[in-house]
Amino acid sequence: MKLTQLESTDRITNLLLSGSLDISGVKDVEMDFARLASGKRAVVVDFSGVTFIASLGMRMLLSAAKKLDSEGGRLILHSVPPLVETALETAGLTMVLPVVKDAPDAISLSQLQR
């Protein structure tokens, strides 16, 4: 699993995740993901390179989303492959974690006031 910070401003951080968010993948990125997902208004994550997500990966996302929510921010996923999106839907994460089609939609959503 690879985590790349694409851009960061005082209002938004854009990240790219690539690989498998399984036990090994989460170990590779969890600390950096948590650090980058703190103190920001919105964190937009490009999921186009994620090939698999396990429950541990879902827990990582949910933890980051809850932390951001408590700080007045939000975590938004975009470009999620169909199999990964199905896993997120089945787990009920799409009820609490916005999943949108592409980066422009994610950025638009991040700018809406909560």
Residue 51 belongs to a domain with what CATH number? 3.30.750.24
What is the model's pTM?
0.92
| Mean pLDDT across 87-102 | 95
Q: Is residue 62 part of a domain?
A: yes
Q: Is residue 112 part of a domain?
A: no
| pLDDT reading at 113 higher than 60 | no
Q: Model confidence over 1-37: pLDDT tens digits?
A: 999 999 888 889 999 999 999 999 999 999 999 998 8
DSSP assignment of the chain equals -EEEEEEE-SSEEEEEEEEEESHHHHHHHHHHHHHHTSS-SEEEEEEEEEEEE-HHHHHHHHHHHHHHHHTT-EEEEES--HHHHHHHHHTTGGGTS-EESSHHHHHHHHTS--
In which domain, by residue range, is 9 found? 2-105
Q: Which pLDDT belongs to residue 8?
A: 86
Q: How confident is the model at residue 40 (pLDDT cuts 50, 70, 90)?
A: low
Q: Which pLDDT belongs to residue 72?
A: 87
